[in-house]
Structure 1
Amino acid sequence: MTPQPPEALDALFRLIDLLGVLGNAVLGGALARRARLDLVGLGTLAILSGLGGGLIRDTLLQQGTPVALTDYAYIATALAGAGIAFLLEVEGRGWHRTYLVVDALALGCWAAAGAQKTLDAGLGWLPAVLLGAITAVGGGTVRDLVLGRRPGIFGGPLYATCALVASGVMVLLDQLGHPSAGLVATTATGAGLTLLARWRGWQLPEPPGWQPASVMRRYSASRRGRRGDRGRNDPVQ
C-alpha cells in the first residue's frame, strides 16, 4: 500500500477544515441578519458559528494553541462568510434550500476534519468519532445558544447522528490506509445523510412522556379495577 504524502494530506485537511468554517460562518451570519443584529453582531455570530467547533476540538485535544488563533486564514474565512451572509438574500425558498445544502456540507467537512485531527493526535477510534461529531455540531450549538434557540441537535431530523456515522467512515478509511479518500468520503457521507434525514424526516425516537401525577392516577385506577373484579368474582354469601 502506497503511503499518503503528508504534504498532500495536510493540504486536503486544511481545505476541508476551512470549507467547514466558511459554511458555518455563512449560516451564522445569515441567522444574525434574520435576527436583525447589527454588523458587530453579524460578525460575532459568524465567527462563533464558523470557529466554535474547531476551537472546542483543539482545546480538548490539548495539542497547543487552537489553529484558529495561529492560522489567520481561519479568522479571515469566518469573516468572509460573514460578508457573504451580509450580501446574500436570506429569505425565500431559494435561500431555504441553499441553507440546507450548506449546513449539510459544513457538517460533513467538520466531521472529517475533527476525526482526522484526533487520529493524528494519536488517540483511538472512539475519541475520533466523538470529537468528529463535536467538531461538526459545536459551532452550530454555540450559535443557537447565543441566539436563545434550542440547539438543532436536541430534536428534529437526524443531525448529530449523521456526524457520528460520518466520523466513523473517516476512522474506518484511515485505518485501511486511505486518509485522503476518507476525508472526501466522510464529507460526502455526512452531507448526504443530513440531507436525506431532512428529506425523509428521519428522527430518533422520543422517550414516552412520564409525569408522576398521571402515573399515580393510572395506578390508582388499575387498583380500583382489580378490587372491583375481585368483588364480582366473590361467591354470594
Structure 2
Amino acid sequence: MNTESETLFEIIRFVDLAGVLANAILGGVAARTARLDIVGFVVLAIMSGLGGGMIRDTLLQQGTPAALLDPAYLICAILGGVIAYFVTFNGRWTRRVLLLLDALAVGCWSAVGAQKALEAGLGWLPAILLGIITAVGGGMVRDIMLLKVPTIFGGNTLYATSALLASTEMVILSKLGFVAIGTAVAILSGSGLSLLAKRYGWILPTGYALRIPKPILLLNPRAWRQRRLDARNARNGIFPDDPGASV
C-alpha cells in the first residue's frame, strides 16, 4: 500500500510539473509578444507556471505552497521562460506545439488541483472549483500583469469549460477509487476539448438580452387582446390599412 501511495504521488507530481513547464512557456510567449526583456520572460513564466498552483495551495491552507518547497517547480518554470526566450514559436509546427502545450496545461492542472483538494478533505464541489482555479489561475495572473482582461472571461475557446470537464471527471473517478485512471481520463478529455475548441473556434455566448413584454400589456387585457388580434391578422395577411381589415 505504501508503494502504491508513493507511485500515485509521483504520478501527480509529474503531471503537475508538466503543467508548470507548459504554462511557463506560454508565459514566455506572452512576454515576447509584449516585447519584454529576459527579466520579463522569467517573471511572466514563473507567474504563469506557478500562479494557479500557489493560489490553490494558499486556499487549502496546508502549509507552504508546494512550488516553494520542491525546487523542481521553480526550475521547470524558469526553464519554460528560457525556452520561450530562445524559441519564437512563430513557425507552423512550433505554433502547433504551443497549442498542444496550452491544452496539456489545462488537463494536467485540472486533474492535480481537484485531487489535491480531495486529499485535503474538501467536498466534491470545492474540489472542482480548485481544479478550475489551478488550471486558469496562472493565466489570469499573467494577463493581469500585462494589463489585459483575463482571456477566460471572454473571447477564448472554452478554456475554463475544459477545466470544468476535467475537474469533474477527476472528482468522480477519484471518489470511486480510480485515482490513476481519473488522472489519465481528466488529462485526455480536458486537453482534447481544449484542442477541439481551438480547432473549430468554439466559444461561449456573451450576455443575452431578455425581452420582457411591456407592463401595460400585462395590466390592460384590452391592449393584450388587441395585440393578439393584430398578430393573427398579420399571419393571415390582413393589415389595418387593407380594405378587408374592417370586414
Do both share a fold (TM > 0.5)?
Answer: yes
Cα displacement string for residues 11-41 of structure 1 (whole angstroms, at most 9, x for unaligned residues): 0000000001000000101110121101111
d(CA) in 2 for partners of 1:4, 1:116: 19
What's the TM-score, normalizing by structure 1? 0.85
Separation in structure 2 between the aligned mates of residue 22 and residue 130 of structure 1, nearest angstrom:
22
Cα deviation, 1:127-160, whole Å, max 9, x if unaligned, reads 1100000000000111111112221211122110
Match of 1:169 in 2: 169
Q: Report the Cα distance in structure 1 between the residues aligned to 2:152 and 2:94, rounded to whole angstroms.
A: 21
User: What is aligned with 1:58?
Assistant: 57
Kindly provide the CA deviation profile for residues 58-81 of structure 1, in whole angstroms up to 9, marking residues without a partner as x: 000001110111111110110111
What displacement does 1:118 show?
0.4
Match of 2:81 in 1: 82
* Shift in CA distance, 118/94, structure 1 to aligned 2, threshold 3 Å: same
Number of residues paired by the alignment?
Answer: 220
Stretches of structure 2 lacking an aligned partner (at least 5 in a row): 218-222, 228-239, 241-247
Where does structure 1 lack aligned partners over 5 or more consecutive residues? 233-237
Q: 1:4 to 1:118 in 2, by over 3 A?
A: farther
Q: How does 1:136-147 map to 2 (within 5 A)?
A: 136-147=135-146
In 2, Cα distance between equivalents of 1:20 and 1:153: 17
1:78-227 → structure 2 map (5 Å cutoff): 78-156=77-155, 157-208=157-208
Tell me the TM-score normalized by structure 2.
Answer: 0.82
Whether the 8 Å CA contact 1:104–1:192 is kept in 2: the answer is yes
Identity across matched positions, percent: 55
- Is the radius of gyration larger for structure 1 or structure 2? 2
Cα distance in 2 between the residues matched to 1:69 and 1:109: 19
RMSD of equivalent CA atoms: 2.4
Distance 1:61 1:31 in 2: 29
